[in-house]
Amino acid sequence: MSRSLFPAAALLLAAQLSGCASSTPATVSSATPPAEATASTMATPAAAAPATPAAPAAEPFQVVSEQFADLRILRYEVPGFEALEPKQKELLYYLYEAALSGRDIIYDQNYSQNLRVRRTLEALWETNQARRAATTNTQQVEQAQQFNTYAKRVWFSNGIHHHYSTRKLLPEFTPAYFKELVLSAPERSLPLLSGETVAQFVATMTPVLFDPNVAAKRVNQEAGKDLLTTSANNYYQGVTQAEAEAYYAKKIDKNDQRPISYGLNSRLVKDKQGNIVEQPWKVGGLYGESLTQVAFWLNKALDVAETPEQRAALTKLIQYYSTGDLKLWDEYNIAWVHDTNSDTDVVNGFIEVYGDPLGYRAAYESVVSFKDVEATKRIKTIGDQAQWFENHSPIKAEHRKKNVVGITAKVITTVVESGDAAPATPIGINLPNATWIRKEHGSKSVNLGNIVEAYDRASAGGMLDEFAFDEAEKKRARQYGALAGKLHTDMHEVIGHASGQINKGVGTTKETLKNYASAIEEGRADLVALYYLMDDKLVQLGVMPSLEVGKAEYDSYIRGGLMTQLVRLQPGETVEEAHMRNRQMVAKWVFEKGKKDKVIEQVTRDGKTFFHINDYQKLRNLFGQLLRETQRITSEGDFNAAKNLIETYGVKVDADLHKQVLARYQKLGIAPYAGFIQPKLVPVEQEGKIIDVKVEYPTDFAQQMLEYGRKYSFLPHVN
């Protein structure tokens, strides 16, 4: 409920760049992890290049690595890392290892067979490459390439379901080819269960991979369905939606002003006696093997923490992982919010609940970063005015916060991301998610500056040229679009998620708005940003030069919400992902409500549809009206109104427009989704102590995924 997924200006990346930069090896060593972990690979020192005037200039960093299926793989730099103090680098290295040590968890959370699938693909990778190299048979080459593409898609999505639509990814290679690969691979490399034969393994895994009816959807949000039994995620076992809701209805006191986040870090199951019980994710419990590694590296980070506040927060996080106690999770979040003086920072935990249709259970993720001091000035300027924005919001007075406290806003330089945050990454984060902690202690809002920069560098004008209404709109987008997107993210995260309050006794949105909570919350935060992007206040603050920036964002948002995001759907599909639902809901609602005054006009020209904004101030007023309503829904817990808003405006797709958009988009040859190869931190040791840490920039997505599989596989095949 607190994440921006991508810049509006770069909703769909449009460049067709190619080429890769080579990484620079350094002398490698690693601090010793627990016995379960494997040692890191050794690399040899690189020869220093002669510093002569005749030396050729370094090639520019290549952001785009490759494209396949509907995905583009990008790379990002970590500017400023070399200038950090040695202890800061060492701290970031430990946090980097902690982040990646939890990688197995997200696979298992997404689907119970994902780890077996991933390890199968890893085991078969080299066999497949050898078969491809050894044959000239066109069909065999095609099958081998299809295997490679499928493996990369699974790695990108942290499992066999599409990272965005959550629909099952089906291989294009045949079951027969899969069987051939399995029989050709060393048996010891296969993820066999105890007593399982290779033949049984093939029989078990074939439907998991190839049957469209087995685990068809990771997250089902279809109204009228049992959202648990029709979802393939591994958050519930043997429990129906009605049983889960009844279980928590008995536990939760809606009058509790400081409720713990029930269900956040556990699996809900039915035991042999038919009782519903929670299996906590903790050291010594479910996912304990991975969390032991995470806690190990966090413990090492304690020794080099920047400030007492940072050390206190990390101590609470370790205690939480060791016990699974959600009260400690709250204590950690409070300590983390109050750590405002450290330049380095980490998000690590079970955080976002988008993968649970009921919004209780959270996916593992981690983001390791340090502050971009110069870029932070813009976002801090906005955060410092949080009370002004709250006081001038168009929402009802009783829904406003009387005292907005502790919003720490900054731009960060991302070092590494893991779990639910990678390879597809957010560009903005506002945490913690607990509304009472945000109200009493404040929050941290961050813009992932170098991630946004990588998106911007990988973007070009193909989408704009095809879908923008006229030259004026294109010119405005090219001049102000990048800034508009950054400001939208800033306002969404810093002001949007931190604004408003829930009425006493109503309960949290996951209890009241249920499966519509995420879409309503993201829509509400978007509307805060949109409303103020056409306010002179932002010009007065000096964060944007004129209201033309706001107009550029309005153009982009309407274009995306009504048209261009449809390229992410297959014909006949409805909108189900929370962010897509919220954008379509907002755009379609203001379009419909403004029809009488032609606030937004639908224009057909040369057989192509465009949406043109005729009156930006009237559109702003409509955004304000919808903001008032979404805040009322949130504050009062009005489930029926939330359902009506999302189902009426956010779900259904105009089939004819969708078909047209897909045809226009197909001609551009652009993949609609993008994610990242992660930088690699390499410690340099002297006499057993880390004296420096180097950054390498890998260029091969598959090789990074294989390396991660070798180094960070701690969980059993099935959990």
Domain boundary assignment for the chain: 3-12+284-674, 113-210
What residues contact 40, with CB distance under 8 A and at least 6 apart? Answer: 28, 29, 30, 711
Measure the CA–CA gap between 587 and 693, rounded to whole angstroms.
Answer: 47
DSSP 3-state helix, strand, coil percentages of the chain (rounded to 5)? 45, 15, 40
| Helix, strand or coil, per DSSP, at residue 358 | coil
Q: With 50 as the cut, is the pLDDT of residue 14 above it?
A: no
Cβ pair 433, 261 in contact under 8 A? yes
Confidence class for position 13, pLDDT limits 50, 70, 90 = very low
Q: What is the pLDDT, as a whole number, of residue 35?
A: 42
Overall average pLDDT of the 573-595 stretch: 96
Q: How far is CA 219 from CA 354, 357, 359, in A?
A: 9, 6, 11
Question: In this predicted structure, which of 241-250, 360-369, 402-411, 631-640 has the lowest mean pLDDT?
Answer: 402-411
pTM of the model: 0.84
User: Does residue 571 have a cis bond before it (omega within 30 degrees)?
Assistant: no
Confidence class for position 4, pLDDT limits 50, 70, 90 = low
Lookup: tokens for 562:
């009504």
Confidence class for position 477, pLDDT limits 50, 70, 90 = very high
Q: What is the pLDDT, as a whole number, of residue 406?
A: 73
Task: Read off the amino acid at residue 54.
Answer: A
Its sign, for the CA torsion 566, 569, 570, 574, is negative
Q: What is the pLDDT, as a whole number, of residue 428?
A: 87
Taking only Cα atoms into account, the Rg of the chain, rounded to an integer number of angstroms, comes to: 25
Q: How far is CA 6 from CA 42, 103, 489, in A?
A: 36, 22, 9
Q: With 70 as the cut, is the pLDDT of residue 20 above it?
A: no
Q: How many CA atoms lie within 13 A of 610 on its CB side?
A: 21
Confidence class for position 457, pLDDT limits 50, 70, 90 = confident
Task: Read off the amino acid at residue 309.
Answer: E
Cβ pair 142, 149 in contact under 8 A? no
What residue spans of 498-565 are helical by DSSP H? 509-512, 517-532, 536-540, 548-562
pLDDT tens by residue, 653-677: 999 999 999 999 999 988 999 999 9
Q: What is the pLDDT, as a whole number, of residue 345?
A: 98
Please name the helix (run of DSSP H) or strand (run of DSSP E) that holds residue 129, with its range, or none. Answer: helix 114-134
What residues contact 383, with CB distance under 8 A and at least 6 apart? Answer: 407, 408, 409, 445, 494, 495
Domain made up of 3-12+284-674: CATH architecture:
2-Layer Sandwich (3.30)
Q: With 80 as the cut, is the pLDDT of residue 54 above it?
A: no
Confidence class for position 17, pLDDT limits 50, 70, 90 = very low
What residues contact 308, with CB distance under 8 A and at least 6 apart? Answer: none
Please name the helix (run of DSSP H) or strand (run of DSSP E) that holds residue 652, with its range, or none. Answer: none
Q: How many CA atoms lie within 13 A of 281 on its CB side?
A: 30
pLDDT tens by residue, 678-712: 999 999 999 999 999 999 999 999 999 999 999 99
What residue spans of 160-307 are helical by DSSP H? 175-184, 198-210, 241-251, 288-302
Measure the CA–CA gap between 128 and 126, rounded to whole angstroms.
Answer: 5
Please name the helix (run of DSSP H) or strand (run of DSSP E) that holds residue 649, with its range, or none. Answer: none
Measure the CA–CA gap between 103 and 107, rounded to whole angstroms.
Answer: 7
Q: What is the pLDDT, as a whole number, of residue 458?
A: 86
Whole-number mean pLDDT of the chain?
Answer: 91
What residues contact 9, with CB distance under 8 A and at least 6 apart? Answer: 456, 459, 477, 481, 482, 484, 485, 552, 556
pLDDT tens by residue, 304-349: 999 999 999 999 999 999 999 999 999 999 999 999 999 999 999 9
What residues contact 341, with CB distance under 8 A and at least 6 apart? Answer: 306, 307, 309
Q: With 60 as the cut, is the pLDDT of residue 377 above it?
A: yes
pLDDT tens by residue, 237-275: 999 999 999 999 999 998 899 999 999 999 999 999 999
Q: What is the pLDDT, as a whole number, of residue 41?
A: 32
Q: Which residues pair with 68 in a beta bridge?
A: 71
Sheet holding 344-352, edge to edge: 3-4, 428-431, 443-448, 407-419, 363-371, 344-352
Q: What is the pLDDT, as a whole number, of residue 26?
A: 32
Lookup: tokens for 708:
């991660």
pLDDT tens by residue, 107-120: 999 999 999 999 99
Q: With 80 as the cut, is the pLDDT of residue 23 above it?
A: no
pLDDT tens by residue, 145-161: 999 999 999 999 999 99
Lookup: tokens for 130:
């050898």
Confidence class for position 36, pLDDT limits 50, 70, 90 = very low
| Helix, strand or coil, per DSSP, at residue 278 | strand
Overall average pLDDT of the 471-477 stretch: 96
Q: How far is CA 507 from CA 255, 257, 350, 393, 656, in A?
A: 7, 9, 21, 23, 41
pLDDT tens by residue, 182-212: 999 999 999 999 999 999 999 999 999 999 9
Q: What is the pLDDT, as a whole number, of residue 10?
A: 42
Give the rounded percent of residues in the chain with a pLDDT score beyond 90.
85
Measure the CA–CA gap between 561 and 563, rounded to whole angstroms.
Answer: 6
Check residue 332 and report its DSSP letter: H
Q: With 50 as the cut, is the pLDDT of residue 83 above it?
A: yes
Q: What is the pLDDT, as a whole number, of residue 461?
A: 57
Q: What is the pLDDT, as a whole number, of residue 647?
A: 97
What residues contact 420, with CB distance under 8 A and at least 6 apart? Answer: 106, 158, 351, 352, 355, 363, 364, 365
Confidence class for position 8, pLDDT limits 50, 70, 90 = very low
